[in-house]
């Protein structure tokens, strides 16, 4: 039996240096795994951040549309489809939103441009008065998007934007 001079406690067997668990057993393997996990955790914390959950909606300040000009936007889905839409304040003062596609010409992927108080289909040339956007659907009308205006913001739920995915899920839609 050897004695520990500094504490006067008896040591019953020689131990190699290392960390022991509560039972007194050497714990080099656990220490190695713990160190590895620590390195992985630190590397993960310093690497690219974990993807954040998608926001439930998108919003724009209403004053962006005060000039009556259509503003075009895009939303990229998790599978890479780009959904295009526009928001505008129509001639009757209502803020409206629609997909940049319709039930007839969507396969062409050409969308709409604004000329004065009209949105013009870039494929067939049909003209739609701004006050009818979000009011009429089907045919070559810009496909409406449900939106609300609250607290000085135009709010569109992402789930409503995703409803337009079929208009853009084709070869030209990426």
Q: Quick one: average pLDDT of 80-86? A: 93
What is the DSSP track for 119-138? EEETTT--EEEGGGTTT--S
Report the predicted TM-score, pTM, of the whole model to 2 decimal places.
0.66
Least confidently predicted of 55-64, 84-93, 117-126:
117-126
Extract the tokens encoding 133: 């956007």
Domains located in the chain, CATH noted: 2-46 (no CATH), 57-173 (2.102.10)
Euclidean distance between CA atoms 144 and 132, whole angstroms: 10
In this predicted model, what pLDDT tens digit does every residue of 139-166 receive, in sequence order? 778 889 999 999 999 999 999 999 999 9
What is the DSSP track for 103-114? TTTGGG---EEE
pLDDT of residue 164: 93
């Amino acid at each position: 039996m050897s004695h520990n001079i500094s504490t006067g406690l008896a040591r019953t067997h020689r131990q190699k240096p290392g960390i022991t668990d509560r039972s007194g057993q050497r714990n080099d393997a656990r220490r190695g795994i713990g160190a590895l996990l620590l390195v992985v955790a630190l590397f993960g914390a310093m690497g690219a951040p974990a993807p954040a959950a998608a926001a439930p909606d998108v919003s724009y300040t209403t004053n962006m549309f005060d000039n009556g000009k259509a503003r075009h936007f895009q939303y990229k889905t998790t599978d890479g489809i780009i959904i295009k839409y526009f928001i505008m304040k129509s001639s009757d003062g209502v803020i409206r939103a629609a997909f940049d596609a319709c039930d007839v010409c969507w396969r062409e992927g050409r969308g709409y441009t604004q000329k004065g108080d009209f949105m013009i289909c870039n494929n067939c040339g049909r003209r739609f008065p701004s006050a009818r956007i979000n009011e009429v659907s089907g045919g070559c009308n810009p496909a409406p998007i449900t939106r609300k205006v609250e607290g000085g913001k135009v709010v569109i739920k992402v789930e409503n934007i995703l409803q337009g995915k079929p208009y853009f899920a084709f070869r030209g839609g990426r």
